[in-house]
Amino acid sequence: MSDVGTLIILGASGDLTERLLLPGLGSLIASDDPKSSALATDVRIIGSGRSAKTDEVWRQTVTSTLQAGGASGSAAKALASKASYIQADPTVTEDLGRILGEAEGVPVIYFALPPAIVSEAITAMAEVELPKGTILAVEKPFGSDSRSAAALNRKLEKLVPERQIHRIDHFLGLPTVLGILGLRFANRLFEPIWNAQNIERVEITYDEQLGLEGRAGYYDTAGALIDMLQSHLMQVLSVVAMEPPISMDETEFRAATSQAIRAISLWSGDPVLPGTDGSSRRARYTAGTIEGRKFPDYASEEGVDPTRKTETLAEIALEVRTARWAGVPFILRSGKAIGDPRREIVLTFRPTPFLPTGLSGPRVPERIVLGIHPQTLALDVAVNGRSEPFHLEHAAFDVELAERDLTAYGEVLAGVLGSDPTLSVLGDVAEQCWRIVSPVLKAWRADEIPLDEYRAGSRGPSTWS
Ligand code: NDP
Protein backbone atom coordinates (compact mmCIF):
# COMPACT_ATOMS: atom_id res chain seq x y z
CA MET A 1 0.00 0.00 0.00
CA SER A 2 1.04 3.54 -0.65
CA ASP A 3 0.64 6.70 1.43
CA VAL A 4 -0.34 8.44 -1.79
CA GLY A 5 -4.05 9.18 -1.77
CA THR A 6 -4.46 11.44 -4.79
CA LEU A 7 -2.90 11.71 -8.21
CA ILE A 8 -3.34 15.26 -9.48
CA ILE A 9 -2.71 15.55 -13.21
CA LEU A 10 -2.09 19.10 -14.42
CA GLY A 11 -2.60 19.04 -18.19
CA ALA A 12 -5.24 16.32 -18.06
CA SER A 13 -6.50 16.98 -21.58
CA GLY A 14 -3.05 16.55 -23.14
CA ASP A 15 -1.51 13.90 -25.34
CA LEU A 16 0.75 12.51 -22.60
CA THR A 17 -2.10 12.00 -20.14
CA GLU A 18 -4.38 10.15 -22.53
CA ARG A 19 -1.84 8.22 -24.59
CA LEU A 20 0.78 7.22 -22.02
CA LEU A 21 0.13 8.26 -18.42
CA LEU A 22 -3.35 6.86 -17.75
CA PRO A 23 -2.72 3.71 -19.83
CA GLY A 24 0.48 3.31 -17.76
CA LEU A 25 -1.61 3.52 -14.61
CA GLY A 26 -3.96 0.95 -16.13
CA SER A 27 -1.06 -1.42 -16.74
CA LEU A 28 0.05 -0.93 -13.12
CA ILE A 29 -3.43 -1.84 -11.87
CA ALA A 30 -3.30 -4.98 -14.03
CA SER A 31 0.19 -5.92 -12.78
CA ASP A 32 0.67 -9.56 -11.67
CA ASP A 33 2.63 -8.23 -8.72
CA PRO A 34 0.03 -7.50 -6.01
CA LYS A 35 2.34 -4.97 -4.32
CA SER A 36 2.64 -2.93 -7.54
CA SER A 37 -1.02 -3.19 -8.36
CA ALA A 38 -2.01 -2.08 -4.82
CA LEU A 39 -0.15 1.20 -5.40
CA ALA A 40 -2.70 2.18 -8.03
CA THR A 41 -6.00 0.59 -7.10
CA ASP A 42 -7.01 3.04 -4.38
CA VAL A 43 -5.71 6.30 -5.75
CA ARG A 44 -8.07 9.19 -6.42
CA ILE A 45 -7.41 10.82 -9.79
CA ILE A 46 -7.99 14.56 -10.07
CA GLY A 47 -7.61 15.82 -13.62
CA SER A 48 -7.14 19.51 -14.22
CA GLY A 49 -6.83 21.83 -17.19
CA ARG A 50 -7.97 25.16 -18.51
CA SER A 51 -10.52 23.50 -20.79
CA ALA A 52 -14.02 22.98 -19.45
CA LYS A 53 -14.94 19.35 -18.85
CA THR A 54 -17.56 17.65 -16.71
CA ASP A 55 -16.66 15.00 -14.14
CA GLU A 56 -18.68 12.61 -16.28
CA VAL A 57 -16.56 13.19 -19.39
CA TRP A 58 -13.34 12.92 -17.35
CA ARG A 59 -14.54 9.65 -15.79
CA GLN A 60 -15.18 8.25 -19.27
CA THR A 61 -11.64 9.22 -20.31
CA VAL A 62 -10.22 7.63 -17.17
CA THR A 63 -12.18 4.41 -17.72
CA SER A 64 -11.25 4.00 -21.38
CA THR A 65 -7.56 4.89 -20.98
CA LEU A 66 -7.06 2.67 -17.91
CA GLN A 67 -8.64 -0.18 -19.84
CA ALA A 68 -6.44 0.58 -22.85
CA GLY A 69 -3.49 -0.01 -20.49
CA GLY A 70 -4.82 -3.40 -19.40
CA ALA A 71 -6.97 -2.68 -16.32
CA SER A 72 -10.14 -4.75 -16.12
CA GLY A 73 -13.45 -3.00 -16.76
CA SER A 74 -14.44 -3.26 -13.10
CA ALA A 75 -11.09 -1.95 -11.78
CA ALA A 76 -11.12 0.95 -14.26
CA LYS A 77 -14.71 1.88 -13.39
CA ALA A 78 -13.98 1.69 -9.66
CA LEU A 79 -11.13 4.17 -10.01
CA ALA A 80 -13.08 6.38 -12.41
CA SER A 81 -16.05 6.59 -10.04
CA LYS A 82 -13.81 8.40 -7.51
CA ALA A 83 -12.17 10.62 -10.15
CA SER A 84 -13.00 14.28 -10.62
CA TYR A 85 -12.06 17.12 -12.95
CA ILE A 86 -11.26 20.69 -11.94
CA GLN A 87 -11.15 23.44 -14.53
CA ALA A 88 -8.16 25.56 -13.51
CA ASP A 89 -5.07 27.33 -14.81
CA PRO A 90 -1.94 25.61 -13.47
CA THR A 91 0.00 28.86 -13.55
CA VAL A 92 -2.38 30.63 -11.15
CA THR A 93 -1.66 30.23 -7.42
CA GLU A 94 -5.32 30.42 -6.32
CA ASP A 95 -6.26 27.72 -8.83
CA LEU A 96 -3.51 25.42 -7.56
CA GLY A 97 -4.71 26.00 -3.98
CA ARG A 98 -8.22 25.08 -5.05
CA ILE A 99 -7.04 21.82 -6.65
CA LEU A 100 -4.95 20.86 -3.60
CA GLY A 101 -7.93 21.59 -1.38
CA GLU A 102 -9.70 18.63 -3.00
CA ALA A 103 -6.81 16.18 -2.42
CA GLU A 104 -7.03 13.31 0.07
CA GLY A 105 -3.96 11.73 1.69
CA VAL A 106 -0.52 12.46 0.27
CA PRO A 107 -0.86 14.04 -3.18
CA VAL A 108 1.27 13.41 -6.24
CA ILE A 109 1.24 16.46 -8.51
CA TYR A 110 2.05 15.31 -12.03
CA PHE A 111 3.04 18.14 -14.39
CA ALA A 112 1.76 16.80 -17.73
CA LEU A 113 2.22 20.27 -19.23
CA PRO A 114 4.31 21.82 -22.00
CA PRO A 115 7.84 22.53 -20.65
CA ALA A 116 7.50 26.34 -20.56
CA ILE A 117 4.28 26.07 -18.56
CA VAL A 118 5.86 23.66 -16.04
CA SER A 119 8.25 26.39 -14.96
CA GLU A 120 5.41 28.91 -14.54
CA ALA A 121 3.30 26.40 -12.60
CA ILE A 122 6.18 25.65 -10.22
CA THR A 123 6.68 29.39 -9.63
CA ALA A 124 2.97 29.74 -8.85
CA MET A 125 3.18 26.77 -6.48
CA ALA A 126 5.68 28.56 -4.22
CA GLU A 127 2.78 30.49 -2.69
CA VAL A 128 0.70 27.38 -1.95
CA GLU A 129 1.02 25.37 1.25
CA LEU A 130 1.76 21.85 0.07
CA PRO A 131 0.50 18.96 2.23
CA LYS A 132 3.26 17.03 4.06
CA GLY A 133 4.91 14.43 1.84
CA THR A 134 3.67 15.95 -1.47
CA ILE A 135 5.40 14.31 -4.43
CA LEU A 136 6.14 16.32 -7.57
CA ALA A 137 6.51 14.51 -10.91
CA VAL A 138 8.05 16.60 -13.68
CA GLU A 139 8.34 15.46 -17.29
CA LYS A 140 11.20 15.90 -19.71
CA PRO A 141 12.56 18.06 -21.23
CA PHE A 142 13.63 19.44 -17.85
CA GLY A 143 14.24 23.13 -18.62
CA SER A 144 15.55 24.36 -21.95
CA ASP A 145 19.28 24.67 -21.18
CA SER A 146 21.70 24.20 -18.25
CA ARG A 147 20.77 27.51 -16.69
CA SER A 148 16.99 27.05 -16.81
CA ALA A 149 17.35 23.42 -15.59
CA ALA A 150 19.41 24.70 -12.63
CA ALA A 151 16.82 27.42 -11.95
CA LEU A 152 14.01 24.84 -12.06
CA ASN A 153 15.94 22.65 -9.62
CA ARG A 154 16.39 25.53 -7.17
CA LYS A 155 12.64 26.30 -7.35
CA LEU A 156 11.68 22.64 -6.83
CA GLU A 157 14.09 22.24 -3.91
CA LYS A 158 12.32 25.07 -2.12
CA LEU A 159 9.01 23.23 -2.44
CA VAL A 160 9.89 19.67 -1.34
CA PRO A 161 13.00 17.56 -0.50
CA GLU A 162 14.90 16.01 -3.45
CA ARG A 163 13.60 12.48 -2.84
CA GLN A 164 10.03 13.76 -3.32
CA ILE A 165 10.94 15.16 -6.75
CA HIS A 166 10.50 12.65 -9.57
CA ARG A 167 12.06 13.87 -12.81
CA ILE A 168 10.39 11.47 -15.16
CA ASP A 169 12.19 9.76 -18.01
CA HIS A 170 10.14 6.73 -18.93
CA PHE A 171 13.00 5.20 -20.91
CA LEU A 172 14.42 4.21 -17.51
CA GLY A 173 11.32 2.02 -17.16
CA LEU A 174 11.78 0.21 -20.49
CA PRO A 175 12.35 -3.53 -19.99
CA THR A 176 15.34 -3.49 -22.37
CA VAL A 177 16.98 -0.70 -20.38
CA LEU A 178 16.31 -2.32 -17.00
CA GLY A 179 17.39 -5.63 -18.55
CA ILE A 180 20.91 -4.26 -19.14
CA LEU A 181 21.49 -4.53 -15.39
CA GLY A 182 20.97 -8.29 -15.17
CA LEU A 183 22.72 -8.92 -18.47
CA ARG A 184 25.81 -7.02 -17.39
CA PHE A 185 26.09 -7.77 -13.71
CA ALA A 186 24.72 -11.31 -13.46
CA ASN A 187 26.59 -12.92 -16.37
CA ARG A 188 30.26 -13.84 -16.32
CA LEU A 189 29.92 -14.06 -20.10
CA PHE A 190 29.34 -10.29 -20.37
CA GLU A 191 30.62 -8.45 -17.29
CA PRO A 192 34.39 -9.02 -17.93
CA ILE A 193 34.17 -7.86 -21.54
CA TRP A 194 32.03 -4.76 -20.95
CA ASN A 195 34.85 -2.24 -21.46
CA ALA A 196 37.09 -0.40 -23.94
CA GLN A 197 39.58 -3.29 -24.13
CA ASN A 198 36.92 -5.38 -25.88
CA ILE A 199 34.27 -3.02 -27.20
CA GLU A 200 35.02 -0.79 -30.17
CA ARG A 201 31.79 1.19 -30.43
CA VAL A 202 28.37 1.56 -28.79
CA GLU A 203 25.31 2.73 -30.75
CA ILE A 204 22.02 3.67 -29.12
CA THR A 205 19.37 4.20 -31.80
CA TYR A 206 15.70 5.03 -31.45
CA ASP A 207 14.15 5.73 -34.84
CA GLU A 208 10.40 5.84 -35.36
CA GLN A 209 7.96 5.77 -38.23
CA LEU A 210 5.79 8.42 -36.61
CA GLY A 211 5.91 12.01 -37.78
CA LEU A 212 4.63 15.02 -35.88
CA GLU A 213 1.22 13.52 -34.95
CA GLY A 214 -0.25 16.98 -34.30
CA ARG A 215 2.51 17.94 -31.85
CA ALA A 216 4.23 20.57 -34.01
CA GLY A 217 3.70 23.27 -31.36
CA TYR A 218 6.09 21.47 -29.03
CA TYR A 219 8.27 19.49 -31.43
CA ASP A 220 9.16 22.33 -33.77
CA THR A 221 10.70 24.25 -30.86
CA ALA A 222 12.50 21.17 -29.53
CA GLY A 223 13.68 18.94 -32.40
CA ALA A 224 15.10 15.44 -32.17
CA LEU A 225 18.19 16.42 -30.17
CA ILE A 226 16.21 17.83 -27.24
CA ASP A 227 13.16 15.58 -27.58
CA MET A 228 15.09 12.30 -27.63
CA LEU A 229 18.88 12.49 -27.26
CA GLN A 230 19.54 14.86 -24.37
CA SER A 231 16.89 13.14 -22.26
CA HIS A 232 15.86 9.57 -23.16
CA LEU A 233 18.94 8.27 -24.94
CA MET A 234 21.32 9.89 -22.46
CA GLN A 235 19.60 7.94 -19.66
CA VAL A 236 19.99 4.71 -21.64
CA LEU A 237 23.68 5.52 -22.14
CA SER A 238 24.11 6.03 -18.39
CA VAL A 239 22.89 2.47 -17.70
CA VAL A 240 25.10 0.97 -20.42
CA ALA A 241 28.18 2.87 -19.20
CA MET A 242 27.75 2.95 -15.40
CA GLU A 243 30.07 1.20 -12.96
CA PRO A 244 28.41 -1.61 -10.98
CA PRO A 245 26.36 0.03 -8.21
CA ILE A 246 26.80 -1.41 -4.72
CA SER A 247 23.07 -1.98 -4.55
CA MET A 248 19.94 -1.20 -6.54
CA ASP A 249 18.66 1.28 -3.99
CA GLU A 250 17.80 4.84 -4.96
CA THR A 251 21.07 6.31 -3.67
CA GLU A 252 23.57 3.82 -5.07
CA PHE A 253 21.93 3.23 -8.45
CA ARG A 254 21.49 6.92 -9.11
CA ALA A 255 25.01 7.73 -7.90
CA ALA A 256 26.39 5.23 -10.44
CA THR A 257 24.36 6.55 -13.39
CA SER A 258 25.10 10.13 -12.35
CA GLN A 259 28.86 9.40 -12.29
CA ALA A 260 28.64 8.04 -15.85
CA ILE A 261 26.76 11.13 -17.05
CA ARG A 262 29.31 13.47 -15.45
CA ALA A 263 32.09 11.68 -17.36
CA ILE A 264 30.49 12.31 -20.79
CA SER A 265 31.86 14.78 -23.31
CA LEU A 266 31.48 15.24 -27.06
CA TRP A 267 33.55 12.71 -28.99
CA SER A 268 35.82 15.15 -30.79
CA GLY A 269 35.17 17.94 -28.32
CA ASP A 270 34.09 19.93 -31.36
CA PRO A 271 30.51 19.74 -32.67
CA VAL A 272 31.48 21.46 -35.90
CA LEU A 273 33.85 18.84 -37.31
CA PRO A 274 32.26 17.44 -40.47
CA GLY A 275 31.07 13.93 -41.27
CA THR A 276 31.62 10.84 -39.16
CA ASP A 277 34.74 12.34 -37.51
CA GLY A 278 32.59 15.03 -35.97
CA SER A 279 30.37 14.95 -32.92
CA SER A 280 27.03 15.72 -34.51
CA ARG A 281 24.86 15.43 -37.62
CA ARG A 282 21.33 16.64 -38.26
CA ALA A 283 18.71 16.23 -40.95
CA ARG A 284 15.01 16.62 -41.60
CA TYR A 285 12.55 14.69 -43.69
CA THR A 286 11.13 15.60 -47.05
CA ALA A 287 7.89 14.24 -48.53
CA GLY A 288 7.57 10.46 -48.68
CA THR A 289 5.38 7.48 -47.85
CA ILE A 290 5.52 4.94 -45.02
CA GLU A 291 3.26 1.90 -45.27
CA GLY A 292 0.83 3.77 -47.51
CA ARG A 293 0.76 6.85 -45.29
CA LYS A 294 1.86 10.06 -47.03
CA PHE A 295 4.15 12.51 -45.26
CA PRO A 296 4.56 16.08 -46.58
CA ASP A 297 7.90 17.88 -46.33
CA TYR A 298 8.54 18.55 -42.62
CA ALA A 299 8.89 22.24 -43.49
CA SER A 300 5.32 22.36 -44.83
CA GLU A 301 3.69 20.39 -41.96
CA GLU A 302 0.99 22.35 -40.15
CA GLY A 303 2.38 24.40 -37.27
CA VAL A 304 6.01 24.22 -38.44
CA ASP A 305 8.07 27.37 -38.86
CA PRO A 306 10.48 26.42 -41.68
CA THR A 307 12.88 29.23 -40.80
CA ARG A 308 13.60 27.52 -37.49
CA LYS A 309 15.43 24.71 -39.29
CA THR A 310 14.31 22.14 -36.72
CA GLU A 311 15.91 18.72 -37.21
CA THR A 312 13.81 15.55 -37.25
CA LEU A 313 16.88 13.28 -37.18
CA ALA A 314 19.78 13.88 -34.83
CA GLU A 315 23.01 12.02 -34.22
CA ILE A 316 25.75 12.82 -31.73
CA ALA A 317 28.96 11.01 -30.84
CA LEU A 318 30.07 11.04 -27.22
CA GLU A 319 32.93 9.75 -25.11
CA VAL A 320 32.60 8.49 -21.55
CA ARG A 321 35.92 9.53 -20.04
CA THR A 322 36.36 6.76 -17.48
CA ALA A 323 38.98 4.03 -17.11
CA ARG A 324 36.38 1.60 -18.47
CA TRP A 325 35.34 3.51 -21.59
CA ALA A 326 37.93 6.11 -22.71
CA GLY A 327 38.42 5.87 -26.47
CA VAL A 328 35.07 4.23 -27.28
CA PRO A 329 32.56 6.32 -29.27
CA PHE A 330 28.98 6.19 -28.02
CA ILE A 331 26.72 7.20 -30.88
CA LEU A 332 23.18 8.34 -30.07
CA ARG A 333 20.68 8.69 -32.90
CA SER A 334 16.96 9.27 -33.19
CA GLY A 335 14.78 10.22 -36.12
CA LYS A 336 11.15 10.59 -37.14
CA ALA A 337 9.48 9.31 -40.33
CA ILE A 338 12.09 6.59 -40.75
CA GLY A 339 11.17 3.52 -42.80
CA ASP A 340 12.07 0.16 -41.21
CA PRO A 341 13.13 1.92 -37.99
CA ARG A 342 15.83 0.53 -35.71
CA ARG A 343 15.37 0.75 -31.95
CA GLU A 344 18.34 -0.89 -30.38
CA ILE A 345 21.50 -0.74 -28.32
CA VAL A 346 24.40 -2.26 -30.22
CA LEU A 347 27.81 -3.05 -28.76
CA THR A 348 30.35 -3.88 -31.46
CA PHE A 349 33.50 -5.75 -30.41
CA ARG A 350 37.07 -5.24 -31.48
CA PRO A 351 38.43 -8.09 -33.64
CA THR A 352 40.32 -10.78 -31.72
CA PRO A 353 44.04 -9.90 -31.78
CA PHE A 354 45.09 -13.28 -33.21
CA LEU A 355 43.66 -15.63 -35.81
CA PRO A 356 45.38 -18.94 -36.71
CA THR A 357 46.76 -18.98 -40.24
CA GLY A 358 44.38 -20.94 -42.42
CA LEU A 359 41.27 -19.86 -40.54
CA SER A 360 39.91 -17.32 -42.98
CA GLY A 361 36.79 -15.68 -44.31
CA PRO A 362 34.90 -12.44 -43.80
CA ARG A 363 35.49 -10.88 -40.38
CA VAL A 364 31.92 -9.95 -39.53
CA PRO A 365 32.05 -7.86 -36.35
CA GLU A 366 30.93 -9.60 -33.16
CA ARG A 367 28.01 -7.70 -31.70
CA ILE A 368 25.55 -7.73 -28.84
CA VAL A 369 22.25 -6.25 -30.03
CA LEU A 370 19.61 -5.36 -27.43
CA GLY A 371 16.32 -4.63 -29.18
CA ILE A 372 13.78 -2.21 -27.73
CA HIS A 373 10.18 -2.93 -28.88
CA PRO A 374 10.10 -5.88 -29.09
CA GLN A 375 12.61 -6.75 -26.39
CA THR A 376 15.20 -8.94 -28.08
CA LEU A 377 18.72 -10.13 -27.37
CA ALA A 378 20.90 -11.06 -30.34
CA LEU A 379 24.52 -12.11 -30.56
CA ASP A 380 26.38 -11.86 -33.85
CA VAL A 381 29.42 -14.16 -33.85
CA ALA A 382 31.82 -15.83 -36.25
CA VAL A 383 31.69 -19.63 -36.68
CA ASN A 384 33.36 -22.04 -39.06
CA GLY A 385 32.93 -25.56 -40.35
CA ARG A 386 29.48 -25.16 -41.83
CA SER A 387 30.53 -24.96 -45.50
CA GLU A 388 34.26 -25.65 -45.39
CA PRO A 389 36.16 -26.75 -42.30
CA PHE A 390 38.25 -23.59 -41.80
CA HIS A 391 36.06 -20.98 -43.45
CA LEU A 392 34.60 -18.28 -41.19
CA GLU A 393 30.95 -17.36 -41.49
CA HIS A 394 28.55 -15.15 -39.62
CA ALA A 395 26.01 -16.71 -37.26
CA ALA A 396 23.33 -14.96 -35.22
CA PHE A 397 21.63 -16.11 -32.05
CA ASP A 398 18.44 -14.18 -31.63
CA VAL A 399 15.85 -14.48 -28.86
CA GLU A 400 12.71 -12.48 -28.25
CA LEU A 401 12.29 -12.03 -24.51
CA ALA A 402 8.84 -12.24 -22.99
CA GLU A 403 7.89 -8.71 -21.96
CA ARG A 404 5.98 -7.76 -18.85
CA ASP A 405 2.54 -6.29 -19.43
CA LEU A 406 3.62 -3.30 -17.33
CA THR A 407 4.40 -0.40 -19.67
CA ALA A 408 7.42 1.85 -19.17
CA TYR A 409 5.04 4.50 -17.78
CA GLY A 410 3.53 1.89 -15.47
CA GLU A 411 7.04 1.15 -14.21
CA VAL A 412 7.93 4.76 -13.46
CA LEU A 413 4.48 5.41 -11.96
CA ALA A 414 5.08 2.52 -9.55
CA GLY A 415 8.10 4.51 -8.33
CA VAL A 416 6.12 7.75 -8.09
CA LEU A 417 3.14 6.24 -6.25
CA GLY A 418 5.40 4.06 -4.09
CA SER A 419 7.62 7.04 -3.10
CA ASP A 420 10.67 5.30 -4.55
CA PRO A 421 12.71 7.63 -6.78
CA THR A 422 15.22 4.98 -7.95
CA LEU A 423 14.10 5.30 -11.58
CA SER A 424 13.75 9.07 -11.53
CA VAL A 425 16.41 11.46 -12.77
CA LEU A 426 18.53 13.32 -10.20
CA GLY A 427 18.65 17.12 -10.35
CA ASP A 428 22.34 17.31 -11.20
CA VAL A 429 21.91 14.70 -13.96
CA ALA A 430 19.18 16.81 -15.57
CA GLU A 431 21.59 19.76 -15.62
CA GLN A 432 24.52 17.66 -16.88
CA CYS A 433 22.49 16.39 -19.84
CA TRP A 434 22.16 19.99 -21.01
CA ARG A 435 25.89 20.63 -20.44
CA ILE A 436 26.68 17.75 -22.81
CA VAL A 437 24.47 18.88 -25.70
CA SER A 438 24.89 22.67 -25.29
CA PRO A 439 27.83 23.04 -27.73
CA VAL A 440 25.88 21.05 -30.34
CA LEU A 441 22.75 23.13 -29.86
CA LYS A 442 24.79 26.31 -30.15
CA ALA A 443 26.47 25.16 -33.38
CA TRP A 444 23.17 24.01 -34.89
CA ARG A 445 21.38 27.22 -33.99
CA ALA A 446 24.23 29.22 -35.55
CA ASP A 447 23.82 27.03 -38.65
CA GLU A 448 27.42 25.85 -38.46
CA ILE A 449 26.43 22.27 -39.30
CA PRO A 450 24.49 21.53 -42.50
CA LEU A 451 20.88 20.46 -42.16
CA ASP A 452 20.79 17.36 -44.39
CA GLU A 453 17.62 15.93 -45.91
CA TYR A 454 16.14 12.45 -46.10
CA ARG A 455 12.99 11.15 -47.71
CA ALA A 456 10.24 10.16 -45.23
CA GLY A 457 10.25 6.37 -45.34
CA SER A 458 14.00 6.10 -45.98
CA ARG A 459 16.58 5.21 -43.32
CA GLY A 460 18.06 8.71 -43.28
CA PRO A 461 20.25 10.78 -45.62
CA SER A 462 21.98 8.59 -48.21
CA THR A 463 25.30 10.28 -47.35
CA TRP A 464 25.11 9.09 -43.75
CA SER A 465 25.49 5.35 -44.25
P1 NDP B 1 0.32 18.99 -24.69
O2 NDP B 1 0.84 19.98 -25.66
O3 NDP B 1 -0.67 17.99 -25.16
O4 NDP B 1 -0.23 19.83 -23.44
C5 NDP B 1 -0.77 19.25 -22.27
C6 NDP B 1 -1.82 20.16 -21.68
O7 NDP B 1 -1.23 21.33 -21.16
C8 NDP B 1 -2.82 20.67 -22.68
O9 NDP B 1 -3.79 19.71 -22.93
C10 NDP B 1 -3.34 21.95 -22.05
O11 NDP B 1 -4.50 21.65 -21.30
C12 NDP B 1 -2.21 22.38 -21.10
N13 NDP B 1 -1.64 23.63 -21.59
C14 NDP B 1 -1.17 23.89 -22.83
N15 NDP B 1 -0.76 25.16 -22.92
C16 NDP B 1 -0.99 25.72 -21.73
C17 NDP B 1 -0.79 27.04 -21.21
N18 NDP B 1 -0.29 28.03 -21.95
N19 NDP B 1 -1.12 27.27 -19.92
C20 NDP B 1 -1.64 26.29 -19.15
N21 NDP B 1 -1.87 25.03 -19.59
C22 NDP B 1 -1.55 24.75 -20.87
O23 NDP B 1 1.59 18.27 -24.05
P24 NDP B 1 1.86 16.72 -23.88
O25 NDP B 1 0.73 16.09 -23.16
O26 NDP B 1 2.25 16.14 -25.18
O27 NDP B 1 3.19 16.72 -22.99
C28 NDP B 1 3.20 17.10 -21.63
C29 NDP B 1 4.62 16.91 -21.09
O30 NDP B 1 4.98 15.53 -21.22
C31 NDP B 1 5.69 17.69 -21.86
O32 NDP B 1 6.67 18.10 -20.96
C33 NDP B 1 6.26 16.66 -22.81
O34 NDP B 1 7.58 16.93 -23.18
C35 NDP B 1 6.19 15.40 -21.94
N36 NDP B 1 6.16 14.17 -22.71
C37 NDP B 1 5.20 13.99 -23.67
C38 NDP B 1 5.17 12.82 -24.40
C39 NDP B 1 4.14 12.61 -25.45
O40 NDP B 1 4.29 11.64 -26.23
N41 NDP B 1 3.10 13.43 -25.52
C42 NDP B 1 6.18 11.74 -24.17
C43 NDP B 1 7.10 12.02 -23.11
C44 NDP B 1 7.08 13.20 -22.43
P45 NDP B 1 -5.66 22.76 -21.14
O46 NDP B 1 -5.76 23.49 -22.44
O47 NDP B 1 -6.87 21.95 -20.82
O48 NDP B 1 -5.21 23.61 -20.03
Q: Residue 263 is part of a domain; what is its CATH number?
A: 3.30.360.10
Give per-residue burial for 122-147: e unless 16+ CB within 10 Å, then b: bebbeebebeebbbbbbbbbbbbbbe
Q: Are residues 177 and 135 in the same domain?
A: no
Residue where one domain finishes, among candidates 96, 114, 139? 139
Atom of ligand 1 nearest to the CA of 218: 2
Is residue 113 in contact with ligand 1, taking CB distance under 6 Å?
yes
DSSP line for 355-414:
--TT-BS--PPPEEEEETTTTEEEEEEEEESSSSTTBEEEEEEEEEPPPPSS-HHHHHHH
- Ligand 1 centroid – CA 10 distance (Å): 9
Number of domains, the chain: 2
- Ligand 1 centroid – CA 205 distance (Å): 26
- pLDDT of 274: 54
pTM of the entire structure?
0.96
Is residue 143 in contact with ligand 1, taking CB distance under 6 Å?
no
Q: Are residues 232 and 351 in the same domain?
A: yes
Would residue 430 count as lying in a domain? Answer: yes
Q: 232, 373, 391, 394: which is the annotated catalytic residue?
A: 232
Q: Are residues 195 and 128 in the same domain?
A: no
Q: Are residues 110 and 202 in the same domain?
A: no
Would residue 408 count as lying in a domain? Answer: no
pLDDT tens-place values along the chain, 465 residues long: 568 999 999 999 999 999 999 999 999 999 989 998 999 988 999 999 999 999 999 999 999 999 999 999 999 999 999 999 999 999 999 999 999 999 999 999 999 999 889 999 999 999 999 999 999 999 999 999 999 999 999 999 999 999 999 999 999 999 999 999 999 999 999 999 999 999 999 999 999 999 998 889 999 999 999 999 999 999 999 999 999 999 999 999 999 999 999 999 999 877 776 555 568 999 999 999 999 999 999 999 999 999 999 999 999 999 999 999 999 999 999 999 999 999 999 999 999 999 999 999 888 899 999 999 889 999 999 999 888 999 999 999 999 998 788 999 999 999 999 999 999 999 999 999 999 999 999 999 999 999 999 999 999 999 997
Residue from 9, 16, 46, 93 whose mutation best tests the ligand 1 pocket (most atoms within 8 A of CB): 16
Would residue 417 count as lying in a domain? Answer: no
- Ligand 1 centroid – CA 277 distance (Å): 38
Domain range for 284 = 172-402+424-455
Q: Is 170 a catalytic residue?
A: no
Is residue 47 in contact with ligand 1, taking CB distance under 6 Å?
no
Rounded to 5 degrees, φ, ψ at 294 are -90, 135
Atom of ligand 1 nearest to the CA of 50: 48
Is residue 15 in contact with ligand 1, taking CB distance under 6 Å?
yes
Is residue 173 in contact with ligand 1, taking CB distance under 6 Å?
no
Residue from 9, 10, 15, 230 whose mutation best tests the ligand 1 pocket (most atoms within 8 A of CB): 15
Q: Which amino acid is at 167?
A: R
Q: Are residues 250 and 337 in the same domain?
A: yes
Would strands 44-49 and 135-138 be described as parallel, antiparallel, or unpaired?
Answer: unpaired
Would residue 297 count as lying in a domain? Answer: yes
Q: Are residues 199 and 134 in the same domain?
A: no
Would residue 99 count as lying in a domain? Answer: yes
| ipTM exceeding cut-off 0.90 for this assembly | yes
Q: Are residues 194 and 304 in the same domain?
A: yes
CA 15/CA 61 separation, integer angstroms: 12
Q: Are residues 109 and 203 in the same domain?
A: no
Is residue 427 in contact with ligand 1, taking CB distance under 6 Å?
no
Would residue 145 count as lying in a domain? Answer: no
CATH number at residue 52: 3.40.50.720
- Ligand 1 centroid – CA 15 distance (Å): 7
- Ligand 1 centroid – CA 302 distance (Å): 18
